[in-house]
Amino acid sequence: EEEAGMIQEHEEESLEEKPLSEPEKEVSDKTNDEPQTTTHKHPWEPSMYYTFNKECHNFAGYEINIQESIDSYGAIVWPAAVALCQYLENNQHQFNLHDKAVLEIGAGTGLLSIVACLLGAWVTATDMPDILGNLKMNLNKNTRNRCRYNPQVAELSWGEDLEKN
């Protein structure tokens, strides 16, 4: 009985809200740029959370948030995509995309397709099947209620099923 009572007391103590004995982490407070100390409330709360990378860009007067992943080459924003987006935005007088049909082959995260769509193009973004989920999500999130045309997404694998695709 004494042993059972001691176990119950120990369990009750461990459920109390106490900070972990790990070193406290300093986190920057975005409102005043002063470091802010945070502690964990429960032992089962992780000290580190893994999230996919997000990139934020500003093109065509909009903030564009791109969800990346580590799954494949098509799941990250490549510098060439950013450079081409800047070029198209800065040279709209020379390359007017308004009401033009644009086909992006190997769209990846969809940044370039999003910018083309924001600049007025009717866009079809293509990539391999395993990339399409993230591509659709990025396109929908960044173009909904912002564009004249809704971007389309289609599967296209180079050298496979040429008659079908």
What pTM does this model have?
0.66
Q: How far apart (Å, rounded) are the C-alpha atoms in residues 77 and 53?
A: 10
Q: How far apart (Å, rounded) are the C-alpha atoms in residues 76 and 114?
A: 15
The pLDDT tens digits for 113-161 are 999 999 999 999 999 998 999 999 999 999 999 999 999 999 998 777 7
Instruction: Please state the φ and ψ torsions of residue 142, each to the nearest 5 degrees.
Output: -100, -5
- Structural tokens at position 84: 């081409």
Element (H, E) at 66: strand 62-67
